[in-house]
Structure 1
Amino acid sequence: MRSRSGFSRSGKPAAGWRGPAGGARNDSDASWISVSDLMAGLMMVFLCIAVAMMRSVMIEREKIRTIAMSYKENQLAIYESLQREFAPDLTRWGATIDRDTLTVAFNNSDAMFDTGEAALSNSYQVVFEEFFPRYMNVLAPFKGSVEAVRIEGHTSTGWGQTSDRNDSYFNNLRLSQDRARSVLRYVYTLDEVTTHHAWMMQNVAAVGYSSSRPIYNADGSENIEQSKRVAFRVITNSETKIHSILEESF
């Protein structure tokens, strides 16, 4: 029997009884509300993480962009300094300056060396006595941004009468390396660059590329004379800085 209070005589709620507010109790509703609150909280956490990661990526991209802009400005400054110093002499030396690679190339290799030999000719000893001290003075203000200076030896693709490409490549590799070292050894002994010796030991290297980087004419044929060259190339440290930024990001 049910009393007016909604309880049976045993003290238990009577079947069908509604609470004081007139609604039936529903524990599942309360559970769904709790899960919804939890999901909303997790979504906010993930959103905050995503925003933080995007901000970090944007910061790193801005750092790289700043370095890239600085690299372009520094590259242009070095190129313009080389041009100002050497433009009047390039034709006389048979040399060119490449803006993109900061390379001063001496293209008259036949005048620099006897065929198949690495000893620097007397005439080009005079040229490098005039060129290299001035070259080091031009680079002096930029030493903080210079990663390396490479003295590069290059050859044409041929080697005497041989038709074996492998033999030609390795013979030219040895010759280009010997010629690059010969030039480095000579300019290092010049009295005018003595004050640069410590920096040169850490930053100047001689490299032989064999015939791997030939010069081509407009019609696609090899320019044999320009392929045989000795080049002085400046490499800046912008790439190293970008790598360090990328490493810090991970």
Structure 2
Amino acid sequence: MKIIKSSEKENQWVSISGLFSILMMIFLFLSIAYMGNIILKQKKITVIAQTYEETQKGISHDLKKEFTQNLRVWNAVLDSLTLSIRFEDPEILFQVGSAELNQHFKNILDNFFPRFIQILTDPKYKNEIEEIRIEGHTSSEWSGENSPYQAYFNNMELSQDRTHNVLIYILSKIKDEKLFNWTKSKLTANGLSSSKLIYNLDQTENKERSRRVEFKIKTNAEKQINKILKQSSK
């Protein structure tokens, strides 16, 4: 039987305690690195959120300054929260059941869209724009159709055709190649049928206001935040 001397026991204890110390130091460094990564990620997200808020306020301010005198004449509304300009007079936009743009609406677009794009291509906003959505909306009814399901599908086709024609018309007016390519890369046509109706105060459908075309601006803040979260999860 081997007898372990006290000095050997002390050496073993020193070795074990030293190992624990090293492990604790490694754990501490890993914890600091992890917390540092979390703090860095939070700072990046905060910067993006601040940039988003500044961009949102700036675009809203510039749109309001540019179009305030026109909105009432066009029967249009600026929504600062969603960065959208909504054209609400269905008689100006299209004939009932038709996807062909009325001449009056073409005249409005000729005035509106070049000024609208000029704001968005300003260097302080240009790189923050993710998408410019043309949204077509209808009421829930369809002439001669009693089935709400069929009315919805008929209106879906109509709203898609309308936004498609709006997109073609405004792009055809851009002669500068660089501006055309930038606008083309951001502009989308979205027919939404009666999925987003506008209601009166008594919660009944406002059929006139539901028939509308909206130009909605989407910034890339959400995309940047998702990119940071994806990188930090690796």
TM-score by length of 2: 0.89
* Counterpart check, 1:112 vs 2:132: no
Residue 159 of structure 1 deviates from its aligned partner by 2.0
Q: Deviations over 1:152-205 (max 9, x none)?
A: 111112222433232122111111100101111222222xx3222222221212
* Counterpart check, 1:146 vs 2:126: no
Q: Determine helix, strand or coil for the equivalent of 1:221.
A: coil
Question: Where does residue 182 of structure 1 map in the other structure?
Answer: 165
Question: Where does residue 160 of structure 1 map in the other structure?
Answer: 143
Question: Where does residue 59 of structure 1 map in the other structure?
Answer: 40
Question: Where does residue 220 of structure 2 map in the other structure?
Answer: 237
Whole-Å separation in 2 of the counterparts to 1:93 and 1:176: 20
Aligned CA-pair RMSD: 1.9
Which of 88, 103, 108 aligns to 1:122? It is: 103
Structure 2: which 5+ residue stretches go unaligned?
none
Structure of larger gyration radius: 1
CA contact (8 A) 2:134 2:167 kept: yes
Whole-Å separation in 2 of the counterparts to 1:158 and 1:40: 75
Residue 28 of structure 1 deviates from its aligned partner by 4.8
Question: Where does residue 16 of structure 1 map in the other structure?
Answer: none
Question: Where does residue 219 of structure 1 map in the other structure?
Answer: 202
Q: Determine helix, strand or coil for the equivalent of 1:194.
A: coil
* Counterpart check, 1:133 vs 2:114: yes
Whole-Å separation in 2 of the counterparts to 1:225 and 1:47: 65
Report the identity percentage: 37
Question: Where does residue 74 of structure 2 map in the other structure?
Answer: 93
Over 6 Å off, 4+ runs: none
Alignment length (residue pairs): 226
TM-score by length of 1: 0.84
Q: Determine helix, strand or coil for the equivalent of 1:104.
A: strand
Whole-Å separation in 1 of the counterparts to 2:117 and 2:69: 18
Aligned ranges for residues 72-87 of structure 1 at < 5 Å?
72-87=53-68
Q: Determine helix, strand or coil for the equivalent of 2:146.
A: coil
Q: Determine helix, strand or coil for the equivalent of 2:208.
A: helix
Whole-Å separation in 1 of the counterparts to 2:148 and 2:12: 79
CA contact (8 A) 2:100 2:165 kept: yes
Question: Where does residue 41 of structure 1 map in the other structure?
Answer: 22
Q: Determine helix, strand or coil for the equivalent of 2:118.
A: helix
Q: Determine helix, strand or coil for the equivalent of 2:121.
A: helix
